[in-house]
Amino acid sequence: MAIIYFPEMASIKQALLPTLDRLHAAIADDLDVQAIAQCWINAFSQFAQAGDADGLSNLFIDDAFWRDMLAITWNFRTFYGKERIQKFLVDRLAQANISSVEINVASVELQRPFPDLAWVQSFFKFEMPFGYASGIVRLVPTAAGDWKT
């Protein structure tokens, strides 16, 4: 049995669920999940293709996770917290040359496992110089009314 150590994860003392109460947010009855997911994917695409790490990191809540599985770092890496994600993006985004970001519209759905926990989930794909990659995003509502991961 091999034990894999992820030093990035050692600093996480407690990761809290993004409950609606904690986010000071609510889910509208007439929620358009397709529009929410497409809006986020469009912003992701714009910032990623421009190499704009600051803009891209603003699509994340403060205690978000980014899991890179061989796409950008060519390794299995997990980054926790907006600050660490932003540093990762500053270091790697420009060299990633992300392009052709496309949402998988059939995958977009609202998931609500508990009354106070909900997110919009979507799969997407994108191109990089070495080939195709895919991603999954889970978007939660914020107090300001926008949706972030």
Strands (E) located in the chain = 65-69, 76-80, 99-103, 109-114, 117-128, 131-141, 147-148
pTM of the full structure: 0.86
* Beta strands in 5-116, from DSSP E residues, in sequence order: 65-69, 76-80, 99-103, 109-114
Q: Domains of the chain: which residue ranges?
A: 28-148
pLDDT tens digits, 63-78: 999 988 888 888 888 8
Taking domain 28-148, whether its CATH number is 3.10.450.50 is answered by: yes
List pLDDT tens digits, range 75-103: 888 899 999 999 999 998 888 999 999 99
